[in-house]
């Protein structure tokens, strides 16, 4: 009786699993992707153009840094996306390891290279900003070093996924690496508080008022929104392609399986 | 505007990356859509042939 009552009431994990599995159907995902792709793409293009044009031509120059502060409108969105992209990778890893969500593995495969490119751009634009301001391209500062570690974690994730002949083993190993590497995210966030760094502290926090002028804050927020939508649009497009490629692989292997079954019979 | 080369390099780098990633994704999507359609059409024909 008790056993029947317990099995009839779904636990929180089962409920969450049911919700995630609702969107695990590749056909359903492709239909949803078809609908949201144009909206994501065009809103990303328009919002990014508005944000970057505002930052480049209409926002004021900084009283100390001069015009080089305009690099911020590219560097900060890339920095935000490098961390949030890795967070998305860690969420996909949990979905894959706990609920064996089939799309989570494919999403992790597609997020990795985009995240690595964005992190590389963050490091490169940071160097391009550092040279005129600090007089050097690179310092082994806690913030810069922790972001470099994040870049290597992305590369490791990509390498690990493709390192095994058995695809499932690759997914599992990469998911464990992504989860272990997530410890780097708070280190990146708090590095400027925990250590004495050349990199400036955060100008925008959840708890306090922003320490920058509104004339700079708005184009920065708009650029960040545009970059985020662009990142999402690229990942959704790659994920749709990944789902199609998995369908193509299963179609190509099914006649082979059928013929080998006939041969063994 | 002595920092102009650094600013242009940053914007150029980010723009090039966005173009490369989005064009790459679009081409891959297009190629996969064509391949999947042709495979499904071939599969449909072979199943139709077996039924007949």
- A252–B10 C-beta distance less than 8 A: no
* Mean pLDDT on A37-58: 95
CB crowding A101-130: b at 16 or more within 10 Å, else e: bbbbbbbbbbbbbbbbbbbbbbbbbbbbbb
pLDDT tens string A213-236: 888 899 999 999 999 999 999 999
Put simply, whether B21 touches A (Cβ < 8 Å) is: yes
Q: Is the pLDDT of residue A4 over 50?
A: no
Of A22-26, A96-100, A191-195, which range is least confident?
Answer: A22-26
Residues in chain A within 8 Å Cβ distance of B32: 241, 244-245, 248
* Mean pLDDT on A230-255: 91
Its ipTM equals 0.88
Put simply, whether A71 touches B (Cβ < 8 Å) is: yes
Beta bridge partner(s), residue B34? none
Would you list the domain boundaries of chain A? 37-60+67-197+219-248
- Count of Cβ atoms closer than 10 Å to residue A231 Cβ: 27
Predicted local confidence at residue A265, as pLDDT: 36
Full-model pTM: 0.86
Confidence of residue A8 (pLDDT cuts 50, 70, 90): low
CATH 1.20.120 fits A37-60+67-197+219-248, yes or no: yes
Put simply, whether A78 touches B (Cβ < 8 Å) is: yes
| Residue with the two structure tokens 């860690």 | A90
Q: Which of A69, A52, A84 is nearest to A221 (CA)?
A: A52
Option in A118, A128, A241 nearest B29 (CB): A241
Put simply, whether A245 touches B (Cβ < 8 Å) is: yes
Residue A18 vs residue A105, higher pLDDT? A105
Cβ contacts below 8 Å, chain A against chain B, sum to 80
Put simply, whether B38 touches A (Cβ < 8 Å) is: no
pLDDT tens string A147-176: 999 999 999 999 999 999 888 899 999 999
């Amino acid at each position: 009786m008790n056993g029947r009552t317990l099995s009839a009431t779904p636990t929180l994990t089962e409920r969450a699993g049911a919700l995630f599995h609702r969107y695990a159907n590749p056909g359903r995902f492709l239909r949803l992707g078809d609908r949201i792709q144009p909206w994501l793409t065009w809103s990303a293009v328009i919002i990014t153009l508005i944000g970057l044009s505002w930052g480049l031509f209409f926002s004021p120059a900084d009283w100390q840094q001069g015009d080089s502060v305009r690099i911020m409108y590219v560097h900060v969105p890339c920095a935000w996306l490098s961390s949030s992209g890795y967070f998305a990778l860690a969420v996909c890893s949990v979905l894959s390891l706990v609920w064996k969500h089939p799309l989570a593995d494919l999403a992790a495969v597609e997020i990795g290279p985009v995240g690595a490119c964005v992190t590389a751009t963050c490091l490169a634009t940071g160097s391009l900003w550092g040279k005129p301001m600090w007089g050097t391209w690179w310092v082994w500062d806690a913030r810069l070093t922790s972001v470099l570690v994040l870049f290597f974690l992305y590369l490791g994730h990509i390498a690990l996924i493709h390192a095994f002949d058995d695809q499932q083993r690759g997914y599992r190993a990469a998911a464990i690496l992504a989860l272990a590497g997530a410890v780097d995210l708070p280190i990146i966030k708090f590095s400027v508080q925990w250590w004495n760094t050349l990199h400036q502290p955060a100008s925008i926090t959840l708890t306090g008022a922003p320490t920058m002028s509104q004339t700079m804050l708005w184009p920065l927020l708009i650029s960040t929104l545009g970059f985020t939508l662009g990142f999402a649009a690229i990942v959704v497009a790659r994920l749709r392609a990944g789902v199609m490629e998995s369908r193509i692989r299963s179609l190509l292997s099914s006649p082979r399986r059928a013929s080998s079954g006939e041969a063994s019979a | 505007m002595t920092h102009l080369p650094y600013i242009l390099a940053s914007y150029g780098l980010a723009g090039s990356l966005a173009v490369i990633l989005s064009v790459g994704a679009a081409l891959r999507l297009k190629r996969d859509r064509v391949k999947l359609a042709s495979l499904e059409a071939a599969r449909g024909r072979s199943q139709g042939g077996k039924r007949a």
